[in-house]
Chains A and B, each alone.
Chain A
Amino acid sequence: MGELLEARNLTKLYGVIIGVNDVNLDLQPGVIGLLGPNGAGKSTFLKLVTGQLRPTEGQVSVLGQNPWSNVQLFNRIGLCPEQDSFYDNMSALEFVTSLARLSGMGQEAQDRAEQALARVSATEFMHRSIGEYSKGMRQRTKIAQAIVHDPDFLILDEPLTGTDPICRREIMDLVTELGAEGKSILVASHVLHEVQAMTDQFVLIFGGRILAAGKVQEIRGLMNEFPHRISLRCSDPKKLAGALIRDLPIDGVEIDQEREEVMVLTKDPGEFYAGLSQVVLATGLSVRELTSADDKLEAVFNYLMAAS
């Protein structure tokens, strides 16, 4: 059972074109990254989740309710769409206020809009008309309208596209903050570094189906066919490699003298890490760097794409 989102055999076809194909998914509350190549069905999935589309087959429930034409649920969901759809001669404040009114707020609509805009650091420009905004300002306005009614579940579709690094940092911090406040956020992005910085939970859609869902490390743990690549750097990589091969479970070693690096391949990283301290100390070498790209979302993503 997914408290946040539950999909059962969820399918959407546009004529003969497939958008989402037989998706079964349970999500618990939290911050979740939504990944997938262009055209993989992410947008269709988000539209089904937000009730903009009706499934061809199967069910989806969000916060325990069916989203299709469910006005009650809409008040608990905030959506920041990928496309811009504004009235260019409105100001951000007017825009967010009017949307707040639409979601049933009365007197407090303007105050809430101002608060929401302040949260995305949009106070300075919120009185200017949207037509003059840069991409970053538009993104912030869209996020403000998504959070103005204080939803429990926030859906952000590519909120970082076209924004400069400062704006990116602010939006990412906002996502982390909201997550810490106990909100659930589903954030779609193409930049894996940024998803990684916001959360370690992700859903990967590929070809209209769910290829993987869960925590990065857990998913990595399931992929036994790819040995972990662990890099160690020290002044004498040959000597270190020798010691590692002798005493630890290792499936392959690459040595790069120039970079003073040993790249170890192992299918049993638990055992490897457990024995590592002892082996390193026995060599008397100073290991100045120990890293494994395999713990990162990017590596897991690449393995998943390579396998499929």
Chain B
Amino acid sequence: MIQLVDVAKFYGSFQALAGLNVSVQPGAIGLLGPNGAGKSTLIKAILGLVKLSRGTATILGMDAATQSREIREQVGYMPEDDCTIAGLQGVQSVALAGQLAGLPALTALRRAHEMLDYVLLGEARYREVQTYSVGMRQKVKLAQALIHAPKLLFLDEPTNGLDPVGREKMLRLIRDLTQKKGVSVVISTHILSDVESCCDAALILGRGELLVYDTIQALQKSVDSSCRIRVAHDVAKLCAALSARGYQIEAIGPDEARIRGEGDLGTAIFAAAQECGSEVREIMPSRNSLEDIYLAAVRATEGRPEKESA
């Protein structure tokens, strides 16, 4: 879907992208990285807005350098910034975005209503966009990005400023788009739990370099067979019982522990619990959290993010 070959971009001596090589598969991709890692430069390069210093970017089979317009007909982009066109009603600004993408005026207006229905913006669509709350603005921006039925959608911090209910609705829309509507989505975000909950793959950038690209499933797969357990009260008794059976135990908190060992962990835990009268509340096979992966990858290249830019 997105193919990058040695993609590099320099601003003077500043290296925004340092020769990326990656072939991104369709689906939902989380684009991660510290500020200044080159995420927005990469998105602009893929849209053909930024001229590459080196390398080629091929998007949906089109070359970013020469077919920028064709790419932008097939790609949607939801910017992070406010980006409202003051003076227009919600539905008008979505229809305008449609016309800019080449939809005839009537089709654009018709589809603008469809998109606003889809993103669940109700009667507020007839109000001027400046009067909107953060959540409504995000919905309008998503509708604007979707109106020309793109095959690939870039979302820049789509849940920024949303409250938990708004965030869940936004994530549900993203999941629906990727899983049911066949739209590939690249989400640039700082909130790792959003990526875990709705992406198939993660792509981590640091200092313009590709640090990680893999499916979430593969990333989270733990190397050893271990699991985390939580009990109702004191975990020490259960730990002792499991220890006696030859499992390695590591207490995490007053009621939590990590248990490591071969064979059928579940049965062993229940048997030990039965023996010592503990109530098992949770058994969670170990998974690498995306946060650990991210922190390890980014810290390795940066030491610490000393050169952030706004």
Contact = CB atoms under 8 A, between A and B. Distances in A.
B250 interface: no
A286 B304 CA distance: 44
A260 to B, nearest CB: 12
A125 B168 CA distance: 35
Contacts of A305: 164-165
B301 to A, nearest CB: 12
B190 A278 contact: no
B190 A162 contact: yes
A162 B160 CA distance: 7
Interface string A121-148: 1001100000011111100000000000
Interface stretch (B42-50, B82-90, B118-126, B269-277): B269-277
B264 A286 contact: yes
A195 B306 CA distance: 27
B35 A136 contact: yes
Interface in B284-310: 284-285, 291, 294-295, 298-299, 304-306, 308-310
A96 to B, nearest CB: 19
B134 A38 contact: yes
25 contacts: A37-B163, A37-B166, A38-B135, A125-B306, A132-B310, A133-B308, A135-B35, A136-B305, A161-B160, A164-B34, A165-B190, A165-B294, A190-B163, A191-B164, A273-B280, A276-B280, A277-B279, A280-B267, A280-B270, A281-B274, A287-B283, A288-B227, A291-B282, A298-B164, A302-B168
A63 B265 CA distance: 49
A277 B163 contact: no
Contacts of B191: 191
A166 interface: yes
Given A166-B34, A292-B281, 17 more contacts: A36-B163, A38-B134, A38-B163, A125-B306, A135-B35, A162-B190, A169-B291, A276-B280, A277-B270, A277-B271, A280-B266, A281-B267, A281-B274, A286-B267, A288-B227, A288-B283, A290-B283
A301 interface: yes
A163 interface: yes
Contacts of A36: 163
A193 interface: yes
Interface string A71-92: 0000000000000000000000
A290 B269 CA distance: 11
Contact of A292 (B35, B271, B282): B282
What 5 pairs across the A-B complex have the smallest Cβ distances?
A290-B283, A134-B308, A37-B163, A287-B266, A277-B274
A287 B305 CA distance: 43
A277 B167 CA distance: 37
Given A166-B295, A290-B283, A37 B160 contact: no
Contacts of A191: 164, 167, 191, 193
Interface centre among A161, A191, A292 (most CB of B within 10 A): A191
Nearest to A189: B164
A278 B267 CA distance: 11
B217 to A, nearest CB: 13
Interface in B51-104: none
Interface in B173-215: 190-193
A163 B267 CA distance: 43
B304 A289 contact: no
A134 B306 contact: no
Contacts of B36: 134
A contact residues, range: 35 or more
Interface in A275-308: 276-278, 280-281, 286-292, 295, 298, 301-302, 305
A84 to B, nearest CB: 12
Nearest to B34: A164
Contacts of A167: 305
Given A165-B192, A190-B167, A273 B309 contact: no
Given A273-B280, A286-B267, A289-B285, A136 B273 contact: no
A290 B282 contact: yes
Contact of B284 (A135, A136, A165, A289): A289
Given A134-B35, A165-B294, A169-B295, A190 B283 contact: no
Contacts of A273: 232, 279-281
A134 B291 CA distance: 21
A121 B304 contact: yes
B299 A166 contact: yes
Contacts of A278: 274
A36 to B, nearest CB: 7
B32 interface: yes
A124 B306 contact: yes
A1 interface: no
A38 B310 contact: no
Contacts of B13: none
B91 to A, nearest CB: 22
Interface in A228-278: 234, 273-274, 276-278
B254 interface: no
B152 to A, nearest CB: 24
A67 B299 CA distance: 42
B252 to A, nearest CB: 13
B161 interface: yes
Interface in A37-63: 37-40
A175 to B, nearest CB: 16
Nearest to B32: A165
